[in-house]
Structure 1
Amino acid sequence: MRKYRLRVGLDVDDTIYECNSYALSIINSRHHDEEPVSINEITGWGHYGRHSDERMALYGEPEFVRTQPIIPGAQKFVHELSRLADVFFITAVPPACMTARAERLRGDFPEIPPENIIIGTRKDVMAVDILLDDAAHNISSSRAAYPVLFRKPWNTDMSGLLAVNSYDDFLHLCKMVRSSFTEKAPDLSNGGVVCLVGPSGSLKNDIAHELIKLPRFEKPLTSTTRPRRAGESADAYRFIGEADFLREKDAGRFIETTVYSKYYFGTSDDEIAPIVARGHFAVIPIDICGALTVKNLYRSRAMLVFTNRRKNAVLLDIIGRETQPEDKVRRIMSLDFEYRNAEVCDVELPVGDDAAAAARTLEHMIGSAARRRPGKSGK
């Protein structure tokens, strides 16, 4: 298959240059007699957190734009990305800051042609193949074929969007999109990781429960801050408090973490690796952001499975849950984005109302994939 050269758009603030954290460092130095403003106080774009007016004013100062630190690894990331895609910087700054922004980008990223630096607020008219942006409102209005959210503390409550945790994950996603999975099919001949991706109500957890009844399928224990549901098994997840979760996250326990409906979820390779080493299948119901991280780590030994259940059944499942109305609204509003995630999964699993039947179908699909790729292994 001929390589297709992607067109990739990159947001700049908090994607390439530090913005919120840099502004807070300035503000905290001005108000050293107060408790420092935490990055976690910024929960969305605009006036969030203490001294938000002062923070927003900084974004309109040319000197601020000229001195924003480059996010560690950004230059290497852009260099590697430019080898497989035409890269466009798509950035919104006030008119007074446009020259400063253009000069910084041209100096820091000389491999990007000046004509590929696009300054303006209408990101919704940019028809690139893939867009990386930390602002959820830009992702939801994007015309890109694959709008990708760059996970930051202020967008953790956004569920269902195609998202990545790191530059490395985004590079791997770009390669996956470019090849459309035709170059290297999943190799599960000696076990591997089966990531179940799909919207709420698509029976991911039920299918996982049925799969682990079958030989060689095991479910690694995922940690979560979500409360245990009525009737839910105590070993369905490792249920822990948010403070403990964040402490373990900072200590590097998890290979991926994500937030779904304001609850944290995390997967540890200490739980996955022993299963794969035994030649078994680690089954993980997971959102697309976490699945891409797992795929990046396990490569061809990971299969991303989109659980494709008809939308009306998914809606009825969400509506019937004993959760808060705002949680139901959030899940329903994210459905269109979640169904688009099928495009970056390895296979689609048709799901009706019988999780056991879907599990048997998936077992057959995995067996067929293993038979097509005999004798290969290696993480």
Structure 2
Amino acid sequence: MAYKKLKIICDADDVLLSCNEYALQLLGQTTGQYYNISDITKWGELGNELDDRMQFFNYAEFYKKQPALPGAKEFLASLMEKAEVFIATAVYPEFMGERIQRIMTLFPEFPVDHIIMGKRKDLFHADIMLDDGIHNLLESNCSLPVLFRQPWNQNASGICCVDDYADFLTLVDFMNGNKANISRIPKILCIVGPSGSRKRDLAAALCEADKRMELIKTCTTAKGRKHNAETVSATFFDLLFRRMEFIETTWYCGEQYGTKKRDIDQALAQNHYPVIVMDISGCLSVYNAYPRQCEIIYADRDKRDCIMSIIQKPALRREQVADRIVSFEFEEKNKVLADHIVSVGDGSLENEVADILSYLKL
């Protein structure tokens, strides 16, 4: 049977082309001030002086001179070897010609008939869509919507995210079934699943059943966490981030979560099997840092049971409950990236643990 290539739709602005940062550079040239892209904390207008950057979006010259993001050319070339790639981009109609010409200039090997113009990205169908606009992905009809992390989408929850091109290429390899063979040295077990799936209970039960397993602490700003979580202030979390102590970080329902690389290294040095509860985005980062060592285990629990578990958590605020229920559909799509799926029930988790140990051949 002929092999069917994945179809991937990739956004242009702030995924392949510098848009907001380029506009800030132009603004700085007119005002003599320096502006940081990290200060653009939400999509669209902010209600401050950074909104002045948007004036440049009304000029053809902006679209004629937009630079590619660092590494974008190499990324697109690698991606085209792995999948059938389309660039979907939305600009004002009068600037469509400039946008197409700029893409052809920056990426001369990219087929012009694979450039799609228009804002209605909900009409597109593909295996994967990569975009920095969460609003485009929430309405997406693609099998796996993937968010490209930028400062204005850091608070997005549930949806699959990537921090850089390397993580996205790894994700595509997973979808293509090209994950590297796992070595026999101690594995790193990444436990993923929707909120309410009992993934943290499963990780704790796994470590209790086999003393070679070591539950890695999750560093978080969320209060009231259990199962070996380390709660810190937002200020201290940012300090650890700047020190590059985290191997991966993410936002979930308004709180920050991260995994310290040294905790994983210490467990491996003791010939333990690190067990980490994280989202799929964190799994991709860990996989790239520890090639041929990671196994992704998906905790698959009935949707109704997950929602009931979320509702019954007294520590959650009403908006947090709503966010977790809304994100369920996107988290469930991450199942396709797992190495092994275990059905989780309401009991003691003995059968689930036995299932995982059998899969790992331990």
Tell me the TM-score normalized by structure 2: 0.92
CA drift of 1:362 comes to 4.2
Match of 2:323 in 1: 330
Show the counterpart of 1:167: 165
Question: 1 CA distance for matches of 2:64 and 2:275?
Answer: 47
Aligned residue runs from structure 1 range 153-164, under 5 A: 153-164=151-162
- CA deviation vs aligned residue, 1:10-61 (integer Å, no higher than 9, x gap): 101110112122223333444457xx65534433322225136533332232
**2-structure distance, mates of 1:88, 1:292:** 23
1:235-254 alignment to 2 at 5 Å? 236-254=228-246
Structure 2: how far apart are the matches of 1:355 and 1:126? 44
- Cα distance in 2 for residues equivalent to 1:367 and 1:146: 27
1:191 CA drift (Å): 1.6
1:140 to 135, 138, 141: 138
Task: Trace 1:73-88 onto structure 2 (pairs within 5 A).
Answer: 73-88=71-86
Matched, 1:190 2:188: no
Q: Is the 8 A contact 2:202 2:353 kept in 1?
A: no
| More divergent stretch after superposition (256-265 vs 39-48) | 39-48
Structure 2 unaligned regions, length at least 5: none
Secondary structure of 1:201 counterpart: coil
CA distance in 2, matches of 1:358, 1:146: 30
Query: CA 1:112 to 1:283, structure 2 compared with 1: closer, same or farther past 3 Å?
Result: same
RMSD: 2.2
Q: How does 1:221-240 map to 2 (within 5 A)?
A: 221-229=217-225, 232=226, 236-240=228-232
In 1, Cα distance between equivalents of 2:23 and 2:146: 24
Identity %: 35
Equivalences for residues 182-221 of structure 1 within 5 A: 184=180, 186-187=182-183, 189-213=184-208, 214-221=210-217
- Determine if contact 1:208/1:284 at 8 Å carries over to the other structure: yes
* TM-score using structure 1 length: 0.88
Per-residue CA deviations over 1:112-153 (Å, capped at 9, x if unaligned) read: 111111111121222122111011111111222221111112
- CA 1:27–1:49: 2 relative to 1, 3 Å: farther
Counterparts of 1:113 and 1:198 in 2: how far apart (Å)?
38
**1:365 corresponds to 2:358:** yes
Q: Is the 8 A contact 2:342 2:356 kept in 1?
A: no
Q: Which residue, out of 56, 62, 65, partners 1:64?
A: 62
The change in CA–CA distance for 1:243 and 1:185 in structure 2 (over 3 A counts) is: same
Q: Which digits, 9 at most, give the CA deviation of each residue in 1:62-90, with x for residues without a partner?
A: 21222223211111111111112222111
2:347 counterpart residue number: 354
Structure 2 matches for 1:255-294, cutoff 5 A? Answer: 255-294=247-286
Query: 1:238-290 deviations in whole A, cap 9, x for unaligned?
Result: 32222222232233222211111121111222111232343321100101111
Instruction: Tell me, yes or no, if the aligned pair for 1:195 and 1:303 is still in contact at 8 Å.
Output: yes
Change (3 A) 1:25 1:346: same
Answer whether contact 2:212 2:273 (CA < 8 A) is retained.
yes
Equivalent pairs, count:
360
Residue number among 330, 337, 340 corresponding to 1:344 in the alignment: 337
Q: 2:40 aligns with which of 42, 47, 54?
A: 42
Contact 2:193 2:279 in 1 (8 A): yes
What one-letter code is carried by the residue in structure 2 that aligns with 1:265? Y
CA distance in 2, matches of 1:3, 1:309: 32
User: 2-side partners of 1:132 and 1:52: how far apart?
Assistant: 26
